[in-house]
Amino acid sequence: MALMDALPLQSARWRPWQPNPVLLCLAVAMLATLAGLDVVSVAPNRIAAPTGYSLWGATGIPGAALALLLLGAMTGLAAYPGRYRYPALLTVSGLLLALIPFAMMLAAFRLIEPGVAQARLGIGPALWVLLFMLMLCLVELRLRMQLARGWLLLMLLPIVGVWWLCAAFWLDRLALVQEFQARHDAFYRALVEHLALVGIAVTLSTVLGVAIAMLIRRFAAGRTTAFAILNFFQTIPSLALFGLLLAPLAWLSARFDALAAIGVQGIGWTPALIALVAYSLLPMVRNTHVALEAVSPAALDAARGMGMRPAQRFLLVRLPLALPILLEGLRITTVQAIGLTAVAALIGAGGLGTLIFQGLGQSAMSMVLLGALPIIVMAFVADTALGTLAARLRHGDSTRQGDRA
Amino acid sequence: MIELRNVSKDFGDVQAVDDISFSVPRGKFCALVGASGCGKSSTLRMINRLTEQSRGDILLDDQAIQDYDPVKLRRRIGYAIQETGLFPHWNVMRNIATVPKLLKWPATRVHQRVEELMHFLHLPVAEFAHKYPGELSGGQAQRVGVARALAADPDILLMDEPFGALDPITRGQLQTMLARLQARLHKTVVLVTHDMDEALRLADHLVVMREGAIVQQGSPLALLQKPANDYVDSLLGGLERGLKQAALTRVRDHMAPLGPTLPAQSRVPDGYTLRQTLSVMLRDHSERVTVVDTNDMPVGELSLRKLVKEAHTREGEAHES
């Protein structure tokens, strides 16, 4: 037996075909994307039709060769196993992400003549696909390497830093950057409006949602009715709900001066806020209700038997045990509200949606992006932050106690 | 001292507890035994007012429990349940500290008490203090549950099938632990169990319940000697009853002085039960054993013939009483 152990195993010398199918497909797809789609586009001014350029055309031999090299390495690493396969793949993915702005700088340098002040560089379809696929790669790598979500974010931070640095100082030819520089006041105002609307709507619906959930617990008979009403709100399309609120609010504001004085009117932030809260209530109430009901009866019985008063039972036992599921509701509500607020711009509520709809009206894609990208980032950040918080709080809850309930 | 007088409990149309009376003197261990659904848990939960009785009186130190504030009452009564009911978001230390903190003990005193209890229940502080209930085995969790029930040093301890969900080995260990605990602390304990052996092993007083009513109550030996009916007899193990009774009797209480005959070869310590002694006799094919003290000095002897005869007379006495 000892002799057998001493012999080198055959597989140690000869590597079998053991690909990671996900990463292999992604790497090949990225190669195909770069070969087939346009990487950047150049337009002589803001609204003129842009001309697309392939990677070869945009960055010339050095850019194309570097991309081919990195993606080739990625394909190879994904296809054959090795001890450092996943860390190496992570490095290559990060490198690709960090190099994208430099490729754009190179393209701007090669394709745009310094004299043409209005000319601008657009991000082509290939780059969007590449970004999306690299994100998928990171997700897969995170799962394979069993990294905590926080570590991945920490790794993304320097890459985002590189992007920001490039955008702030050297990428002034990029349409998105030009759009931002042209209207950064409007952008910041829209951002603040957006955040304020989401913040107020989520706060209100949390307070209301928890209150309704507790009322439902007390008056069990009202449960079906309450959920039916909340479900009904959820089924109305958001635009229709904004429209439906227009008439009654306009009437109210005309009828009562006090309401008009605080800014209630048919269009603007009032109907937006009401609609946002109405939409947020269902996930909030449902999750709060489920969370409060899911608390282990044994723990509650023990709490009573130990001599906790009703308020102590709620604050010391029921609420903390319900918190993870409750936060899950808050997460869904917040992400949903961030997206819905964009639509609220249509009825004059302000927010980043304004930029999107203005951009659509002027067929200026970079302006649409200027509104859309921060919304995506906000939703992503809210989702991650609240998800992580919920997971942390769940720590003590992953027990037989909880499972038995 | 806990006393129940003609207590009944109705849940809607169902009478869960039907006119029961019993009392537990201070420092005694009482077990409520019966099949599930016989009303024993309801009875227990009436004592700390988790449910209110429909009729009858429950007295605590000769005072009706309705005269006490329920919250204050519960804080001076330890309470442990089968599901442990440990708070999953609190670590072991915080769980044990529940009642002392509710009673607003100073932090240092709480800390001292918790460590004392953990030591007492063989839960090494360094290892367990910061573990969460989810990280404990069933036996460890139940020990934390008992520690929590004892935390504020209550006179009374109520336990609802505390070891019901554990494997037989762990259950045995915890029963031993509880017996040792009771020998030292002399709490007034009411234990609900469906396990007759557990009740026989731990309790001074047994209350056998069936369909809400008391079938029989008395000391373990009294029940074993004279079960009131077939139901109690079957709970006590039917044909095994003699052995169970033997398991509750020490050999030192039944040995005869050393006689003129040669001492028997088989030796048993005087702390053994009659059941263990019988086992030794069967093993050694010997009708006689020599009883020795802790220093291995013979102090008496016991023969099978005397044992059988004595059991017979005891049975007779029980019949007469």
The whole-number pLDDT of residue A177 equals 81
In this complex, do A401 and B88 lie within 8 Å of one another by their Cβ atoms? yes
Sheet of A40-43: strands edge to edge? A51-53, A40-43, A120-123
**Cα–Cα distance for residue pair A323/A386, rounded to 1 Å:** 12
What's the token pair of residue B165?
A: 């969900």
**Cα–Cα distance for residue pair B142/B136, rounded to 1 Å:** 9
Domain coordinates in residue numbering, chain A: 2-174, 184-404
> pLDDT higher for A138 or A249?
A138
Q: What is the mean pLDDT of residues A340-356?
A: 84
Task: State the residue for tokens 């992007």.
Answer: A163
In this complex, do A401 and B132 lie within 8 Å of one another by their Cβ atoms? no
What's the token pair of residue A309?
A: 């008063």
Name the pLDDT band for A400 (thresholds 50, 70, 90): very low
> pLDDT higher for A395 or A394?
A394
Contacting A with CB below 8 Å, chain B residues are 48, 50, 71-75, 79, 81, 83-91, 98-99, 102, 132-135, 138, 141, 148, 158
**Cα–Cα distance for residue pair A395/A78, rounded to 1 Å:** 34
What's the token pair of residue B192?
A: 């609900």
What's the token pair of residue B209?
A: 């319940």
- Among the partner-chain residues A306, A401, A402, the one whose CB lies closest to the CB of B99 is A306
Contacting B with CB below 8 Å, chain A residues are 296, 298-309, 312, 316-317, 320-321, 395-402, 404
- Which among A301, A304, A306 is the top mutation candidate for probing chain B, defined by the most B β-carbons within 10 Å of its own β-carbon? A306
Q: What is the pLDDT of residues A80-112, one digit of tens each?
A: 777 778 888 888 888 888 888 888 888 888 887
Q: What is the mean pLDDT of residues A338-364?
A: 84
Q: What is the mean pLDDT of residues B45-62?
A: 92
The whole-number pLDDT of residue A403 equals 36
* Residue B34 Cα, gap to closest chain A Cα (Å): 22
CB B162, CB B142: distance < 8 Å: yes
Mean pLDDT, chain B, as a whole number? 88
Q: What is the pLDDT of residues A199-224, one digit of tens each?
A: 999 999 999 988 888 888 888 777 88
Highest-confidence segment of A273-282, B44-53, B287-296: B44-53
Helix (H) or strand (E) holding B17: strand B14-24
Q: What residues of chain A lie within 8 A of the CB of B135, using their CB?
A: 399
- Among the partner-chain residues A301, A397, A398, the one whose CB lies closest to the CB of B85 is A301
The whole-number pLDDT of residue B94 equals 94
- Does residue B71 surpass a pLDDT of 90? yes
Q: Report DSSP letters for B167-193, one per residue.
A: -HHHHHHHHHHHHHHHHHH--EEEEEE
Q: What residues of chain B lie within 8 A of the CB of A404, using their CB?
A: 83
Neighbours of A39 (CB within 10 A): 27
Sheet of B267-269: strands edge to edge? B267-269, B288-292, B298-303
In this complex, do A302 and B86 lie within 8 Å of one another by their Cβ atoms? yes
- Does residue B262 surpass a pLDDT of 90? no
Q: What residues of chain A lie within 8 A of the CB of B158, using their CB?
A: 305
In this complex, do B88 and A307 lie within 8 Å of one another by their Cβ atoms? no
* Sheet strands (E) in A13-163: 40-43, 51-53, 120-123
Closest residue of chain B to A398, computed from CA coordinates: B134
**Cα–Cα distance for residue pair A343/A359, rounded to 1 Å:** 14
Mean pLDDT, chain A, as a whole number? 82
Share of chain A above pLDDT 90, in %: 10
Residues β-bridged to residue B8: B55
**Cα–Cα distance for residue pair B184/A391, rounded to 1 Å:** 44
Closest residue of chain B to A312, computed from CA coordinates: B102
Candidates A214, A234, A330, A240; CA nearest to A282 is: A234
3-state secondary structure of A365: helix
In this complex, do B88 and A402 lie within 8 Å of one another by their Cβ atoms? yes
The whole-number pLDDT of residue A404 equals 34
Candidates B200, B231, B199, B191; CA nearest to B215 is: B231
* Residue B101 Cα, gap to closest chain A Cα (Å): 10
Neighbours of B33 (CB within 10 A): 28
Name the pLDDT band for A14 (thresholds 50, 70, 90): low
The whole-number pLDDT of residue B236 equals 87
Task: State the residue for tokens 């007899």.
Answer: B233
In this complex, do A307 and B102 lie within 8 Å of one another by their Cβ atoms? yes
The whole-number pLDDT of residue B320 equals 43
**Cα–Cα distance for residue pair A356/A372, rounded to 1 Å:** 7
Name the maximum alpha-carbon separation found in chain B: 70
**Cα–Cα distance for residue pair B174/B139, rounded to 1 Å:** 8
| Least confident range of A300-309, A345-354, B57-66, B99-108 | A345-354
| Least confident range of A360-364, A374-378, B198-202, B212-216 | A360-364
**Cα–Cα distance for residue pair B290/B268, rounded to 1 Å:** 6
Contacts of B320 (CB under 8 A, 6+ apart): none
Q: What is the mean pLDDT of residues B271-277?
A: 87
| Least confident range of A147-151, A262-266, B86-90, B235-239 | A262-266
- Which among B42, B89, B103, B144 is the top mutation candidate for probing chain A, defined by the most A β-carbons within 10 Å of its own β-carbon? B89
The whole-number pLDDT of residue A395 equals 60
**Cα–Cα distance for residue pair B204/B189, rounded to 1 Å:** 10
**Cα–Cα distance for residue pair B221/B320, rounded to 1 Å:** 15
Candidates A51, A137, A57; CA nearest to A97 is: A137
Q: What residues of chain B lie within 8 A of the CB of A306, using their CB?
A: 74-75, 79, 98-99, 102, 148
What's the token pair of residue A365?
A: 């894609």
Q: φ, ψ for residue B137 (rounded to 5)?
A: -80, 170
In this complex, do A299 and B85 lie within 8 Å of one another by their Cβ atoms? yes
- Does residue B111 surpass a pLDDT of 60? yes
- Does residue A11 surpass a pLDDT of 60? no
Q: What residues of chain A lie within 8 A of the CB of B98, using their CB?
A: 306
Number of H helices and E strands in chain B, helices first, is 14, 13
The whole-number pLDDT of residue A405 equals 31
What's the token pair of residue A97?
A: 């992400």
- Among the partner-chain residues B89, B102, B158, the one whose CB lies closest to the CB of A396 is B89
- Does residue A9 surpass a pLDDT of 60? no
Closest residue of chain A to B151, computed from CA coordinates: A306
What's the token pair of residue A384?
A: 């991650």
CB A400, CB B82: distance < 8 Å: no
Sign of CA dihedral B33, B35, B36, B39: negative
3-state secondary structure of A227: helix
Q: What is the mean pLDDT of residues B13-17?
A: 89
Q: What residues of chain B lie within 8 A of the CB of A396, using their CB?
A: 88-91, 132-134
**Cα–Cα distance for residue pair A283/A305, rounded to 1 Å:** 33
- Which among B49, B83, B135 is the top mutation candidate for probing chain A, defined by the most A β-carbons within 10 Å of its own β-carbon? B83
**Cα–Cα distance for residue pair A360/A352, rounded to 1 Å:** 13
Name the pLDDT band for B77 (thresholds 50, 70, 90): very high
Name the pLDDT band for B158 (thresholds 50, 70, 90): very high
Report which DSSP code applies to B157: E
In this complex, do A321 and B99 lie within 8 Å of one another by their Cβ atoms? no
* Residue B214 Cα, gap to closest chain A Cα (Å): 25
Q: What is the mean pLDDT of residues B59-67?
A: 91
**Cα–Cα distance for residue pair B8/B51, rounded to 1 Å:** 11
Q: What residues of chain A lie within 8 A of the CB of B72, using their CB?
A: 307
Length of chain B: 321
The whole-number pLDDT of residue A221 equals 77
Q: What residues of chain A lie within 8 A of the CB of B104, using their CB?
A: none
Q: How far is CA B315 from CA A200, B108, B222, B223, B305, in A?
A: 81, 56, 10, 11, 15
Q: What is the pTM assigned to this prediction? A: 0.72
Q: How far is CA B206 from CA A392, B217, B219, in A?
A: 47, 5, 6
Name the pLDDT band for A7 (thresholds 50, 70, 90): low
* Residue B189 Cα, gap to closest chain A Cα (Å): 15
Is 0.85 exceeded by the ipTM?
no
Closest residue of chain A to B130, computed from CA coordinates: A396
Candidates A300, A305, A304, A301; CA nearest to A317 is: A300
Q: What is the mean pLDDT of residues A243-252?
A: 76
What's the token pair of residue B208?
A: 């056998």
Q: φ, ψ for residue B188 (rounded to 5)?
A: -90, 110
- Does residue B164 surpass a pLDDT of 90? no
Q: What is the mean pLDDT of residues A306-322?
A: 91
Q: How far is CA B49 from CA A220, B52, B76, B108, in A?
A: 25, 6, 12, 31
Closest residue of chain B to A318, computed from CA coordinates: B87
What's the token pair of residue A228?
A: 């039916």
- Among the partner-chain residues B85, B89, B134, the one whose CB lies closest to the CB of A302 is B85
Helix (H) or strand (E) holding B57: strand B55-60
CATH class of the structural domain A184-404:
mainly alpha
Q: How far is CA B88 from CA A57, A403, B156, in A?
A: 62, 11, 25
The whole-number pLDDT of residue A362 equals 83
* Residue A313 Cα, gap to closest chain B Cα (Å): 11
SS3 content of chain A, % helix, strand, coil (to 5): 80, 5, 20
